[in-house]
Amino acid sequence: MCIARVEAGNRVGRIVNALAKQGFMAPFGDSPSVGIGGITPGGGIGPLQRTTGLISDNLIELEMVDAKGKVIRANKKNHSDLLWASRGGGGGNFGVYTKYKFKVRRAPAKATVFRITWPWNQFEEVLKVWQRWAPSVNTKLGSELSIGPKKGGNVSMLGLYLGSKKEAIRLLEPIICVGTPSKDIRLLPYTQVVKFMLAPDPILIQKFSNQFSSGFGRRPFPDKAIKIMRKFLEKAEGNTPAGFFFLNWGGAVSRVLPKASAFYWRKAKYYVEWNSSWVKPSNAAKNIALARNTRRKLKPYIVGSYINVPDQGIKHSGPVYYGRNYARLRKVKAKYDPKNVFNNPQSIPPA
Protein backbone atom coordinates (compact mmCIF):
# COMPACT_ATOMS: atom_id res chain seq x y z
CA MET A 1 0.00 0.00 0.00
CA CYS A 2 1.25 3.52 -0.81
CA ILE A 3 0.84 6.18 1.86
CA ALA A 4 0.75 9.98 1.82
CA ARG A 5 1.41 11.92 5.02
CA VAL A 6 -0.26 15.32 4.99
CA GLU A 7 -0.25 18.20 7.48
CA ALA A 8 -3.77 19.46 8.10
CA GLY A 9 -3.15 23.07 6.97
CA ASN A 10 -2.72 22.03 3.34
CA ARG A 11 -5.28 22.67 0.65
CA VAL A 12 -6.74 19.89 -1.48
CA GLY A 13 -5.46 21.28 -4.82
CA ARG A 14 -1.86 21.40 -3.65
CA ILE A 15 -2.01 17.84 -2.34
CA VAL A 16 -3.57 16.19 -5.39
CA ASN A 17 -1.35 18.13 -7.81
CA ALA A 18 1.79 17.13 -5.90
CA LEU A 19 0.66 13.49 -5.79
CA ALA A 20 -0.24 13.47 -9.50
CA LYS A 21 3.26 14.70 -10.39
CA GLN A 22 4.63 11.65 -8.61
CA GLY A 23 2.18 9.30 -10.34
CA PHE A 24 -0.38 8.93 -7.54
CA MET A 25 -4.10 9.50 -7.36
CA ALA A 26 -6.15 10.61 -4.36
CA PRO A 27 -9.80 11.70 -4.22
CA PHE A 28 -10.70 15.41 -4.38
CA GLY A 29 -13.82 17.58 -4.49
CA ASP A 30 -14.73 20.37 -6.87
CA SER A 31 -12.46 23.02 -5.37
CA PRO A 32 -8.67 23.28 -5.06
CA SER A 33 -8.82 25.81 -2.22
CA VAL A 34 -10.76 23.72 0.31
CA GLY A 35 -8.61 22.71 3.30
CA ILE A 36 -7.76 19.05 3.83
CA GLY A 37 -8.19 19.85 7.57
CA GLY A 38 -11.96 20.27 7.31
CA ILE A 39 -12.97 18.30 4.20
CA THR A 40 -11.51 15.04 5.57
CA PRO A 41 -13.38 14.66 8.88
CA GLY A 42 -16.67 15.66 7.20
CA GLY A 43 -16.35 12.90 4.58
CA GLY A 44 -14.88 14.43 1.42
CA ILE A 45 -17.03 13.83 -1.65
CA GLY A 46 -16.03 14.26 -5.28
CA PRO A 47 -15.84 12.80 -8.79
CA LEU A 48 -13.28 10.06 -8.01
CA GLN A 49 -15.23 8.65 -5.07
CA ARG A 50 -16.91 5.85 -7.02
CA THR A 51 -13.41 4.42 -7.63
CA THR A 52 -11.50 5.46 -4.50
CA GLY A 53 -14.21 6.00 -1.87
CA LEU A 54 -14.56 9.28 0.02
CA ILE A 55 -11.46 11.22 1.09
CA SER A 56 -12.14 10.00 4.66
CA ASP A 57 -12.44 6.37 3.50
CA ASN A 58 -8.73 6.63 2.66
CA LEU A 59 -7.75 8.07 6.05
CA ILE A 60 -5.78 5.41 7.93
CA GLU A 61 -4.22 7.44 10.72
CA LEU A 62 -4.53 10.89 12.24
CA GLU A 63 -2.87 13.03 14.84
CA MET A 64 -5.08 15.28 16.97
CA VAL A 65 -4.43 17.70 19.81
CA ASP A 66 -7.19 17.47 22.40
CA ALA A 67 -8.60 20.20 24.66
CA LYS A 68 -5.86 19.60 27.25
CA GLY A 69 -3.08 19.87 24.67
CA LYS A 70 -2.44 16.12 24.58
CA VAL A 71 -1.37 14.69 21.23
CA ILE A 72 -3.42 11.62 20.27
CA ARG A 73 -2.56 9.32 17.41
CA ALA A 74 -5.55 7.35 16.14
CA ASN A 75 -5.41 4.38 13.79
CA LYS A 76 -6.94 0.91 13.46
CA LYS A 77 -5.16 -0.35 16.60
CA ASN A 78 -5.14 2.69 18.91
CA HIS A 79 -8.05 5.06 19.48
CA SER A 80 -9.91 3.34 16.66
CA ASP A 81 -13.12 4.99 17.93
CA LEU A 82 -11.62 8.42 17.18
CA LEU A 83 -10.57 7.29 13.70
CA TRP A 84 -14.11 5.98 13.11
CA ALA A 85 -15.62 9.30 14.25
CA SER A 86 -13.18 11.36 12.18
CA ARG A 87 -14.31 9.65 9.00
CA GLY A 88 -17.51 11.64 8.58
CA GLY A 89 -18.22 13.14 12.02
CA GLY A 90 -17.16 16.61 10.86
CA GLY A 91 -14.39 19.00 11.90
CA GLY A 92 -14.50 21.15 15.02
CA ASN A 93 -15.87 18.40 17.29
CA PHE A 94 -13.19 16.35 19.00
CA GLY A 95 -9.96 18.36 18.86
CA VAL A 96 -7.56 19.95 16.38
CA TYR A 97 -6.27 17.57 13.71
CA THR A 98 -2.67 18.25 12.81
CA LYS A 99 -1.66 15.31 10.59
CA TYR A 100 -3.38 12.81 8.37
CA LYS A 101 -2.08 9.62 6.81
CA PHE A 102 -3.91 8.53 3.65
CA LYS A 103 -3.65 5.49 1.47
CA VAL A 104 -3.13 6.52 -2.16
CA ARG A 105 -3.26 4.63 -5.44
CA ARG A 106 -1.14 4.65 -8.58
CA ALA A 107 -2.70 7.10 -11.04
CA PRO A 108 -3.41 6.01 -14.59
CA ALA A 109 -1.01 7.63 -17.10
CA LYS A 110 -4.01 9.24 -18.81
CA ALA A 111 -7.73 9.67 -18.24
CA THR A 112 -10.64 11.30 -20.02
CA VAL A 113 -12.25 14.50 -18.77
CA PHE A 114 -15.42 16.09 -20.04
CA ARG A 115 -17.38 19.29 -19.76
CA ILE A 116 -20.77 19.20 -21.46
CA THR A 117 -22.98 22.29 -21.41
CA TRP A 118 -26.60 22.86 -22.32
CA PRO A 119 -28.80 25.96 -22.45
CA TRP A 120 -30.59 26.56 -19.14
CA ASN A 121 -34.05 25.82 -20.54
CA GLN A 122 -33.01 22.18 -21.19
CA PHE A 123 -32.28 21.49 -17.52
CA GLU A 124 -35.40 19.40 -16.88
CA GLU A 125 -34.77 16.92 -19.70
CA VAL A 126 -31.05 16.71 -18.87
CA LEU A 127 -31.70 16.13 -15.17
CA LYS A 128 -34.31 13.45 -15.80
CA VAL A 129 -31.84 11.43 -17.87
CA TRP A 130 -28.85 12.20 -15.60
CA GLN A 131 -30.62 10.91 -12.49
CA ARG A 132 -31.12 7.49 -14.07
CA TRP A 133 -27.89 7.33 -16.04
CA ALA A 134 -25.22 8.71 -13.67
CA PRO A 135 -25.74 6.44 -10.62
CA SER A 136 -25.66 3.28 -12.76
CA VAL A 137 -22.96 4.10 -15.32
CA ASN A 138 -19.50 2.45 -15.02
CA THR A 139 -18.05 3.34 -11.60
CA LYS A 140 -14.85 4.70 -13.17
CA LEU A 141 -16.98 7.63 -14.32
CA GLY A 142 -17.66 10.53 -11.94
CA SER A 143 -20.13 13.24 -12.91
CA GLU A 144 -20.96 16.61 -11.35
CA LEU A 145 -24.08 18.24 -12.77
CA SER A 146 -24.53 21.97 -12.08
CA ILE A 147 -27.62 23.95 -12.96
CA GLY A 148 -27.30 27.72 -12.64
CA PRO A 149 -29.95 30.38 -12.06
CA LYS A 150 -32.47 31.05 -14.85
CA LYS A 151 -30.96 34.50 -15.36
CA GLY A 152 -27.49 34.05 -16.83
CA GLY A 153 -27.10 30.38 -15.90
CA ASN A 154 -26.69 27.20 -17.89
CA VAL A 155 -26.45 23.45 -17.31
CA SER A 156 -22.95 22.08 -17.05
CA MET A 157 -21.71 18.53 -16.48
CA LEU A 158 -18.07 18.24 -15.44
CA GLY A 159 -16.49 14.86 -14.88
CA LEU A 160 -13.89 12.26 -15.58
CA TYR A 161 -13.59 8.70 -16.74
CA LEU A 162 -10.57 6.61 -15.81
CA GLY A 163 -10.21 5.15 -19.28
CA SER A 164 -10.02 5.93 -22.99
CA LYS A 165 -11.81 8.73 -24.80
CA LYS A 166 -13.53 6.24 -27.09
CA GLU A 167 -14.97 4.31 -24.16
CA ALA A 168 -15.92 7.58 -22.40
CA ILE A 169 -17.90 8.74 -25.42
CA ARG A 170 -19.70 5.40 -25.50
CA LEU A 171 -20.60 5.68 -21.80
CA LEU A 172 -21.67 9.33 -22.15
CA GLU A 173 -23.93 8.63 -25.12
CA PRO A 174 -27.25 8.43 -23.17
CA ILE A 175 -26.71 11.89 -21.68
CA ILE A 176 -25.03 13.72 -24.57
CA CYS A 177 -27.84 12.77 -26.92
CA VAL A 178 -30.23 14.87 -24.80
CA GLY A 179 -30.97 18.40 -26.07
CA THR A 180 -28.33 20.46 -27.86
CA PRO A 181 -25.16 20.31 -25.77
CA SER A 182 -21.70 21.64 -26.56
CA LYS A 183 -19.08 19.04 -25.78
CA ASP A 184 -15.50 19.18 -24.63
CA ILE A 185 -14.18 15.65 -24.13
CA ARG A 186 -10.40 15.13 -23.88
CA LEU A 187 -7.91 12.42 -23.05
CA LEU A 188 -5.24 14.06 -20.87
CA PRO A 189 -2.17 13.02 -18.88
CA TYR A 190 -3.31 12.51 -15.28
CA THR A 191 -1.39 15.63 -14.10
CA GLN A 192 -3.57 17.70 -16.49
CA VAL A 193 -6.74 15.84 -15.48
CA VAL A 194 -6.35 17.20 -11.95
CA LYS A 195 -5.85 20.75 -13.25
CA PHE A 196 -8.91 20.45 -15.51
CA MET A 197 -11.09 19.20 -12.65
CA LEU A 198 -9.81 21.70 -10.06
CA ALA A 199 -10.00 25.08 -11.78
CA PRO A 200 -9.54 28.16 -9.54
CA ASP A 201 -12.53 28.90 -7.33
CA PRO A 202 -14.93 31.57 -8.63
CA ILE A 203 -16.52 31.85 -5.20
CA LEU A 204 -13.26 33.08 -3.68
CA ILE A 205 -12.48 35.49 -6.48
CA GLN A 206 -15.91 37.08 -6.74
CA LYS A 207 -16.83 37.66 -3.08
CA PHE A 208 -20.35 36.29 -3.15
CA SER A 209 -22.21 35.29 0.00
CA ASN A 210 -23.99 31.94 -0.16
CA GLN A 211 -26.58 29.89 1.71
CA PHE A 212 -26.13 26.20 1.03
CA SER A 213 -28.24 23.18 1.86
CA SER A 214 -27.89 19.56 0.82
CA GLY A 215 -29.27 16.03 0.93
CA PHE A 216 -29.07 12.61 -0.67
CA GLY A 217 -31.48 11.21 -3.26
CA ARG A 218 -32.49 7.56 -3.10
CA ARG A 219 -34.57 7.74 -6.29
CA PRO A 220 -34.89 10.17 -9.18
CA PHE A 221 -36.66 13.46 -8.41
CA PRO A 222 -40.28 13.20 -9.61
CA ASP A 223 -41.84 16.08 -11.59
CA LYS A 224 -43.10 17.70 -8.37
CA ALA A 225 -39.54 18.00 -7.03
CA ILE A 226 -38.24 19.32 -10.36
CA LYS A 227 -40.96 21.99 -10.23
CA ILE A 228 -39.63 23.07 -6.81
CA MET A 229 -36.14 23.28 -8.31
CA ARG A 230 -37.43 25.41 -11.18
CA LYS A 231 -39.06 27.88 -8.78
CA PHE A 232 -35.77 28.14 -6.85
CA LEU A 233 -33.74 28.71 -10.02
CA GLU A 234 -36.19 31.35 -11.24
CA LYS A 235 -36.00 33.25 -7.96
CA ALA A 236 -32.23 32.87 -7.39
CA GLU A 237 -30.16 35.97 -8.18
CA GLY A 238 -28.94 36.03 -11.75
CA ASN A 239 -25.27 35.95 -12.71
CA THR A 240 -24.22 34.52 -9.34
CA PRO A 241 -22.94 31.01 -8.42
CA ALA A 242 -26.46 30.12 -7.16
CA GLY A 243 -27.92 26.84 -8.35
CA PHE A 244 -28.30 23.09 -7.95
CA PHE A 245 -25.43 20.60 -7.93
CA PHE A 246 -25.67 16.82 -8.27
CA LEU A 247 -22.91 14.20 -7.85
CA ASN A 248 -23.34 10.52 -8.69
CA TRP A 249 -23.12 7.98 -5.89
CA GLY A 250 -22.44 4.23 -5.96
CA GLY A 251 -19.31 2.13 -6.46
CA ALA A 252 -16.72 2.35 -3.68
CA VAL A 253 -18.80 4.84 -1.60
CA SER A 254 -21.73 2.46 -1.38
CA ARG A 255 -19.63 -0.64 -0.71
CA VAL A 256 -18.77 0.70 2.77
CA LEU A 257 -21.49 -0.08 5.33
CA PRO A 258 -23.26 2.99 6.79
CA LYS A 259 -22.05 2.17 10.30
CA ALA A 260 -18.48 1.24 9.33
CA SER A 261 -17.49 4.92 9.51
CA ALA A 262 -19.25 8.03 10.82
CA PHE A 263 -20.29 8.93 7.25
CA TYR A 264 -23.76 7.39 7.17
CA TRP A 265 -25.40 8.26 3.83
CA ARG A 266 -23.92 5.46 1.73
CA LYS A 267 -26.95 3.98 0.03
CA ALA A 268 -28.07 6.98 -2.01
CA LYS A 269 -28.13 7.27 -5.80
CA TYR A 270 -26.82 10.82 -5.82
CA TYR A 271 -25.86 13.77 -3.67
CA VAL A 272 -27.78 17.01 -4.19
CA GLU A 273 -26.85 20.49 -3.02
CA TRP A 274 -28.32 23.91 -3.73
CA ASN A 275 -27.27 27.40 -2.84
CA SER A 276 -28.61 30.89 -3.10
CA SER A 277 -26.01 33.57 -3.68
CA TRP A 278 -25.91 37.36 -3.35
CA VAL A 279 -23.58 40.36 -3.18
CA LYS A 280 -25.56 43.10 -1.38
CA PRO A 281 -25.91 42.51 2.39
CA SER A 282 -29.50 43.83 2.21
CA ASN A 283 -30.39 40.82 0.01
CA ALA A 284 -29.16 38.27 2.55
CA ALA A 285 -32.41 37.54 4.43
CA LYS A 286 -34.51 36.79 1.34
CA ASN A 287 -31.81 34.57 -0.17
CA ILE A 288 -31.29 32.61 3.05
CA ALA A 289 -35.06 32.11 3.25
CA LEU A 290 -35.12 30.95 -0.39
CA ALA A 291 -32.57 28.17 0.21
CA ARG A 292 -34.21 27.06 3.48
CA ASN A 293 -37.77 27.10 2.14
CA THR A 294 -36.56 24.99 -0.76
CA ARG A 295 -35.19 22.46 1.75
CA ARG A 296 -38.60 22.31 3.46
CA LYS A 297 -40.31 21.69 0.10
CA LEU A 298 -37.78 19.07 -1.05
CA LYS A 299 -37.94 17.15 2.24
CA PRO A 300 -40.15 14.33 0.89
CA TYR A 301 -37.60 13.62 -1.86
CA ILE A 302 -34.28 13.58 0.02
CA VAL A 303 -32.70 12.03 3.10
CA GLY A 304 -30.05 13.47 5.43
CA SER A 305 -27.66 16.31 4.77
CA TYR A 306 -23.90 16.66 4.36
CA ILE A 307 -22.08 18.04 7.43
CA ASN A 308 -19.46 19.76 5.26
CA VAL A 309 -22.21 21.88 3.75
CA PRO A 310 -23.81 22.98 7.01
CA ASP A 311 -27.20 24.66 7.01
CA GLN A 312 -27.95 26.24 10.36
CA GLY A 313 -31.61 26.31 9.43
CA ILE A 314 -31.75 22.54 10.12
CA LYS A 315 -33.17 21.98 13.59
CA HIS A 316 -32.11 18.91 15.63
CA SER A 317 -29.42 18.46 13.03
CA GLY A 318 -27.54 15.48 14.55
CA PRO A 319 -29.59 12.65 13.01
CA VAL A 320 -29.93 14.64 9.77
CA TYR A 321 -26.15 14.82 9.31
CA TYR A 322 -25.25 11.48 10.88
CA GLY A 323 -28.29 9.19 10.63
CA ARG A 324 -27.99 6.23 12.97
CA ASN A 325 -24.36 7.04 13.77
CA TYR A 326 -25.33 10.04 15.87
CA ALA A 327 -25.60 8.23 19.23
CA ARG A 328 -22.17 6.62 18.82
CA LEU A 329 -20.65 9.97 17.79
CA ARG A 330 -21.97 11.51 21.00
CA LYS A 331 -20.21 8.78 23.00
CA VAL A 332 -16.91 9.39 21.19
CA LYS A 333 -17.36 13.11 21.85
CA ALA A 334 -17.89 12.41 25.59
CA LYS A 335 -14.62 10.44 25.65
CA TYR A 336 -12.39 12.91 23.76
CA ASP A 337 -13.97 16.30 24.58
CA PRO A 338 -16.22 15.75 27.62
CA LYS A 339 -16.31 19.46 28.49
CA ASN A 340 -17.43 20.40 24.98
CA VAL A 341 -14.51 22.79 24.44
CA PHE A 342 -14.80 22.33 20.67
CA ASN A 343 -18.25 23.52 19.79
CA ASN A 344 -20.23 25.39 17.17
CA PRO A 345 -23.99 25.82 16.66
CA GLN A 346 -24.31 22.33 15.11
CA SER A 347 -21.43 20.45 16.78
CA ILE A 348 -21.95 17.08 18.45
CA PRO A 349 -22.86 17.39 22.15
CA PRO A 350 -21.20 14.87 24.54
CA ALA A 351 -23.43 11.92 25.49
Ligand X SMILES: Cc1cc2nc3c(=O)[nH]c(=O)nc-3n(C[C@H](O)[C@H](O)[C@H](O)COP(=O)(O)OP(=O)(O)OC[C@H]3O[C@@H](n4cnc5c(N)ncnc54)[C@H](O)[C@@H]3O)c2cc1C
Amino acid at 18: A
Among 168, 190, 166, smallest CA distance to 157 is for: 168
Name, in order, each residue with C-beta under 8 angstroms of 128's C-beta and a sequence gap of 6 or more.
220, 226
Q: For ligand X, which is the closer residue by CB, 39 or 298? A: 39
The count of C-alpha atoms lying within 13 angstroms of the C-alpha of 184, restricted to the half-sphere facing its C-beta, is 11
Phi, psi of 55 (to 5 degrees): -55, -45
Give the whole-angstrom CA distance, residue 295 versus residue 43. 21
Tell me whether residue 131 or residue 277 sits nearer to ligand X (CB atom).
Answer: 277
Closer residue to ligand X, CB minimum distance, 120 or 208: 208
- For residue 66, the minimal CB distance to ligand X (Å) is 11
CB closer to ligand X, 45 vs 172: 45
CA distances 322 to 28, 258, 291, Å, are 21, 10, 21
Nearest approach in angstroms of CB 316 to ligand X is 19
Sheet holding 209-217, edge to edge: 182-189, 110-119, 154-161, 141-147, 243-248, 270-278, 209-217
CB of 183 to ligand X, least distance (A): 23
Where do contacts with ligand X occur on this chain (CB under 6 A)? 8, 29-31, 34-35, 37-39, 42-46, 91-92, 96-97, 201, 203, 308-309, 344
- The smaller minimum CB distance to ligand X, of residues 72 and 187, is found at 72
Q: How far is the CB of 345 from ligand X (least distance, A)?
A: 10
Cβ of residue 99: shortest distance to ligand X, in angstroms?
Answer: 9
